[in-house]
Amino acid sequence: MLEGDVFHPTASQEKMAKGTPLTDQDRAGWLVALGEELARNNEVSVVLSCSALKKSYRDTLRSYKPNLRFVYLDISPATALARVSSRAVAEGHFFPATLVDNQFATLEVPTEEAGVLTVDATASMAKLVAQVRAWL
């Protein structure tokens, strides 16, 4: 299990902590680091959690692991805002709730892409795991 947030460079984490959205340029090195980590783990199954918001981001990751599949957690902006707000307070996460709107503005929904499963992010963890396992 790889948590994509830990691969953000310190400068990007500081930028987000100040409420400044990342740009494509900011994310480029992060995507390379994620891709390299996926490639390093090529012999085993890996779950990577990250905000691969744009098709170009997902394509960068696919270039490192061609058969890569994505699970798109479909969630409303209001529910995402509530979750991020509680996480930031409870866990001291560097990503503030003020950036949620930017995430949705940047998002290119992947439902028309091959190798993508869309699931309801408000479903129980047990249901989500069952859906993903059945799909895989």
Which sequence spans correspond to the domains of the chain? 2-135
6: left (phi over 0), alpha (psi -120 to 50) or beta: alpha
Residue 91: band (very low, low, confident or very high) from pLDDT cuts 50, 70, 90: low
pLDDT (tens digit per residue) in 18-58: 889 999 999 999 999 999 999 998 777 889 999 999 999 99
Torsion of CA 54, 100, 86, 16, to 10 degrees: 80
Q: What is the pLDDT of residue 88?
A: 58
**Could you give the CA distance from residue 29 to residue 8 in angstroms, rounded to a whole number?**
8
The CATH-assigned architecture of domain 2-135 is: 3-Layer(aba) Sandwich (3.40)
**Could you give the CA distance from residue 68 to residue 59 in angstroms, rounded to a whole number?**
10
Q: What is the pLDDT of residue 94?
A: 72
Q: What is the pLDDT of residue 87?
A: 72
